[in-house]
């Protein structure tokens, strides 16, 4: 099983020393805090917050996957050059149908050079 890097598992000292590496590989989830049951709900996942990621032939963000707990909800894949071969933030907006009483959203981003990186979980109340 591949190692999954988690932003919250990296101690404060290492996080500050490697801020650019960690930030550019970490997925960040952006969405509303509440959703309406049975209706479509937008979830945007952006790779990196402050720092951009390379888009080179041998080093790029290959995929972003969205989970609700252990259930995969959506996945998108990129090819080298999708971002114009320039450092950028890979970003995707997923439209999912809100079900249950709450969503526990987690995203994984896969870098072809540095592996899988996991976001901080985002909880969404479903009314």
Which among 69, 70, 124 is positioned nearest to 98, based on CA atoms?
A: 124
* Predicted model pTM: 0.88
**Residue pLDDT, tens place only, 62-111:** 999 999 999 999 999 999 998 899 999 999 999 999 999 999 999 999 99
Instruction: For residues 92 and 123, give the distance between their C-alpha atoms in angstroms, rounded to a whole number.
Output: 19
CATH number of domain containing 56: 2.60.40.730
Which residue segment(s) compose the domain that 36 sits in? 4-126
Number of structural domains the chain divides into: 1
Q: Which residue has the higher pLDDT, 117 or 20?
A: 117
């Amino acid at each position: 099983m591949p190692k999954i890097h988690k932003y919250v598992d990296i101690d404060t000292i290492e996080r500050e020393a490697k801020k650019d590496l960690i930030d550019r590989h970490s997925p960040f989830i952006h969405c509303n805090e509440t959703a309406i049951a049975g209706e479509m709900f937008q979830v945007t996942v952006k790779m990196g917050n402050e720092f951009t990621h390379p888009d080179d032939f041998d080093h790029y963000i290959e995929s972003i996957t969205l989970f609700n707990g252990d259930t995969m909800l959506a996945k998108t894949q990129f090819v080298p050059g999708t971002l114009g071969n320039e450092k950028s933030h890979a970003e995707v907006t997923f439209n999912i149908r809100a079900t249950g009483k709450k969503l526990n959203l987690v995203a994984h981003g896969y870098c072809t050079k540095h592996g899988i990186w996991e976001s901080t979980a985002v909880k969404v109340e479903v009314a």
